[in-house]
Amino acid sequence: MGDYIFNGVLYLIAIGFLIFSFVKDKKKTKMALKKAWKAFENLLPMLLGIIIVVGIIIAILNPQMIAKLIGKNSGFLGVLILAVIGAVALIPGFIAFPTAALLLNAGAGYMQIGAFISTLMMVGVITIPLEITYFGKKVTIIRNILAFAFSFLVAFVIGKVVG
């Protein structure tokens, strides 16, 4: 879908710049690739762990189970449950949106789904340890709390406009 096209475009841009860089200065290009590898290697170990934990969580929480808890009339409790799940989960967009659409069909409310999508994208409880290594404890925690609170506003507006 859209994501694949953009990913392809991203590759084209990266390769284009890489060739341009190589033509202009081989040494600098080599250094850039070295730095790229180092940054990647730094991210890798924690990332692998996170991916496994997410796989386990998604396996435990199946859509049917979620749909039961967050029906249209679940009100604030439904919003809260989905906001928490969204905050903890780290589901790739390709899975998240079809899952959300599925939940809507299964009877979930727009407000509840709005909360889910919003916290899913903005809040990352599982990646907090990783975020801390880049931003420190204080900023990471404040950012996640503010994003979590903001998601309720998003949910409310979506519930009013779409629901």
Partner 1 sequence: MKIFKRYLFFIIALVLLGIVFIFNVSMGIKAVSTLTYSLKEMAMVLPPIFILLGLLDVWISKEKMMKYVGEGSGIKGIIIVFIIGSVAAGPLYAAFPVAAVLMKKGAKFSNVLIFIGAWSTTKIPMFLFEMSSMGAKFAITRLLIDIPGIIIIAYAIYFMISKKERERIYRLDAKNPDTI
User: Does 72 help bind partner 1 (rule: CB under 8 A)?
Assistant: no
Q: How far is the CB of 19 from partner 1 (least distance, A)?
A: 11
The answer to whether 128 contacts partner 1 (rule: CB under 8 A) is no
> What is the x/- site pattern for partner 1, positions 16-55, by CB under 8 A?
-xx--x------xx-xxxxxxxxxxxxx-xxxxxxxxxxx
What's the distance, Cα to Cα, between the start and end of the chain in Å?
26
Does the footprint of partner 1 cover residue 56 (CB under 8 A)? yes
Q: Could you say whether residue 68 binds partner 1 (CB under 8 A)?
A: no
When binding is defined by CB under 8 A, the residue of 58, 67, 69, 106 that contacts partner 1 is 58
Minimum CB separation of residue 38 from partner 1 in Å reads 6
Nearest approach in angstroms of CB 106 to partner 1 is: 14
Residues contacting partner 1: total by CB under 8 A = 83
- Give the CA-trace dihedral at 147, 87, 111, 78, to 10 degrees: -130
Site for partner 1 in 87-106 (CB under 8 A): 90, 92-95, 97-98, 100-101, 104
Kindly tell me the burial class for residue 18, based on how many C-beta atoms sit within 10 Å of its own C-beta (0-12, 13-18, 19 or more).
Answer: middle
Cβ-based nearer residue to partner 1, 53 or 77: 53
Nearest-approach distance from CB 80 to partner 1, in angstroms: 19
DSSP 71: B
Strand partners, 71: 108
Could you please report the per-residue DSSP string of 101-136?
HHHHHTTB-HHHHHHHHHHHHH--STTHHHHHHHHH
CB of 114 to partner 1, least distance (A): 7
**Separation between Cα atoms, residue 88 and residue 119, nearest integer Å:** 8
Angle between the N-to-C axes of helices 110-122 and 75-88, in degrees from 0 to 180, rounded to the nearest 10: 20
